[in-house]
Structure 1
Amino acid sequence: MLLRLDIADSRPLHEQVAGAIRRAIAEGECGPGDRLPPARELSQALGVNVNTVLRGLRALRDEGVLEFRRGRGVTVTEGADQRSVLLDLVRGLVTDAARLGYSKTDLIEMIRGIA
């Protein structure tokens, strides 16, 4: 799995790590059931602290994209490829809405009105 971070990106590094892994999943570089390299290897490859990588991995675990298993490492969950794409779309929607002056609560109400 080839991951790269953009040094010009203003987002925190752990968010960039999570984004790079999401992108790798969405582009098919790794799929459901695949095991990720250990955090130490990822940190060395990306040139960031191992705690930064772990923070990004935990965020993806909390989103349901990754699963941590004792003795088996970190694996991609079933359906993670679709979930990653959807999460990226939702993040873009929230960003666009904020730019236009809408809050997350406003978005939730809009979605409830559609459904």
Structure 2
Amino acid sequence: MLTLDLNDPRPLHEQVAAAVRQAVASGVATPGQRLPSARELAAALGVNANTVLRALRDLRDEGVLEFRRGRGVSVLRPPDGRQVLLRRSRELLEEAGRYGYRPEDVIEMIKELS
């Protein structure tokens, strides 16, 4: 169900979260469906179980997954891309501010990329 790209520079937990997010968004994993255990996912992906747990916690915080004691982890709803992008944009602007960049500067940088 999930695969990772070993050439991807992102941290492994982000790659795992992205893979699960994609599975849910594409309908491979549907609301109410229970996911395999973190150990099973880790073994299938060839990563540490703590890496998978961190990814699953991130997705829980996004409202994509639900943790239920005794029932494991299940899909709650598809990811809301707009909310994820807003959160990441906020983080980007905070990081840019630490380097002395204004929001207008970041907008110009993004325009250069497109």
TM-score (normalised: structure 1) = 0.73
Q: Quote the residue 1:60 is aligned against.
A: 59
Q: Could you list the per-position Cα deviations for residues 21-48 of structure 1 after superposition, in whole angstroms to 9, with x for gaps in the alignment?
A: 0000011001111100000000000000
CA contact (8 A) 2:63 2:79 kept: no
* The structure with more radius of gyration: 2
Whole-angstrom distance in 1 between the partners of 2:66 and 2:11: 22
Q: Give the total of aligned pairs.
A: 99
Whole-angstrom distance in 2 between the partners of 1:17 and 1:60: 10
TM-score (normalised: structure 2) = 0.73
Unaligned runs of 5+ in 1: 108-115
CA contact (8 A) 2:62 2:84 kept: no
Give the % identical residues: 58
Whole-angstrom distance in 2 between the partners of 1:57 and 1:70: 14
Secondary structure of residue in 2 paired with 1:81: coil
Whole-angstrom distance in 2 between the partners of 1:76 and 1:19: 14
Q: 1:89 Cα shift?
A: 4.9
Instruction: Report the CA distance shift for 1:7/1:96 in structure 2 as closer, same or farther (over 3 A).
Output: same
Aligned CA RMSD, in angstroms, stands at: 2.7
Instruction: Report the CA distance shift for 1:70/1:92 in structure 2 as closer, same or farther (over 3 A).
Output: closer
Whole-angstrom distance in 1 between the partners of 2:102 and 2:20: 29
Q: 1:87 Cα shift?
A: 4.5
